[in-house]
Structure 1
Amino acid sequence: MPTELDEYEKRILAILQVDSSRSNAEVAKEIGLSEAPCWRRTQRLKKEGYISAQVSLLDRRKVGLNTHVFALVKLSAVGRSNLSEFSEAIRQFPEVLDCYVLMGSADFMLRIVTRDIDAYEQFFFDKLSKLPGIQDVNSMVALSEIKSTTRLPLETMR
């Protein structure tokens, strides 16, 4: 069971999820703590898994990944018995950024990025459609991005 977060810890998380490169001194000053207690709290948040990673977010278009696809995957009745096999196969595809198990008419939702639509077509025919147990794949190409964030709404936790 997670430890209850105090207001200082919530503020540390809010600051770091916007910019994890901020120094401990900057964070401490902004939240009104001295550096040592701020550092201890941040270390505890890391140790307990509240901070799971500190990464740099890349602009997919600047690195040439211009096509963003959402795919709804439905498995056949036989395929459903192999959910873990499908899940493990999907984890091996670097094009798949996110994969969610769904309730409803589809079994999985995938978020996929590729260089262009031709690269998605190749991914679809060479990798995705060859996985066992797939009954149907409904691919939707995103035309534009209205909102994309990694920031969790911590302010709603009060």
Structure 2
Amino acid sequence: MPDTTDRRILRHLMADPDAPATELAERAGLTTASLWRRLEKLRAQGVLKAIEQSIDWRALGWEVEVSLRFTLDKTDPRAFDEFIAAARKVPEVTEIQTFLGSVDLRLSVIARDMSHWQRIYRDSILTLPHVSDSDALMLVSTIKNSTEVAL
């Protein structure tokens, strides 16, 4: 389990993931070498998986983001596997999640504009197998988007 110093490092890393190691070490009250050793230990423990760059799809001209919720017809035991395999082939699907409850899966889909969204929906989404019900939520704005948690 991470100790107090590890949690301090993680808090600073969450707050500013692009901070140079020397700056992060200074904020955490460590030498750069000590910081690197602790980061390696956190990676080895599986606490720190990766430092990722995220893409702002809107800055690249992808203006439409839709969250699709699906309930599957589970009379076929292969329903989940076949649905997921088909959804993975849709290039505009950026995320696939499974759930327990009334909704079985959620897909995040991006499109350049409404015309593009209509083509994706008609040609790719409506052809996904084993769907008994679906619901679409179009993103209007993001109020909060954070990966930070209290440590």
Task: Provide TM-score, normalisation by structure 2.
Answer: 0.86
1:103 partnered with 2:106: no
CA 1:97–1:79 in structure 2 vs 1: closer, same or farther (change >3 Å)?
Answer: farther
Matched AA of 2:91 = P
| Residue-by-residue CA offset, 1:83-142 (whole Å, 9 max, x unaligned) | 122223323333222222122322112222111122122112211221221122211112
Match for residue 143 of structure 1 among 133, 140, 143: 140
Q: How many residues are matched?
A: 151
Corresponding residue for 1:113? 110
C-alpha contact 2:64 2:111 (8 A) present in aligned 1:
yes
Instruction: Report the Cα offset of residue 80 of structure 1.
Output: 5.5
Q: Distance between the aligned counterparts of 2:76 and 2:140, measured in 1?
A: 31
| Residue-by-residue CA offset, 1:59-80 (whole Å, 9 max, x unaligned) | 2211111111111111113356
Match for residue 150 of structure 2 among 145, 148, 154: 154
C-alpha contact 1:10 1:154 (8 A) present in aligned 2:
no
Unmatched 5+ residue regions in structure 2? none
Identity %: 28
Task: Provide TM-score, normalisation by structure 1.
Answer: 0.83
C-alpha contact 2:68 2:107 (8 A) present in aligned 1:
yes
Match for residue 42 of structure 1 among 39, 43, 51: 39
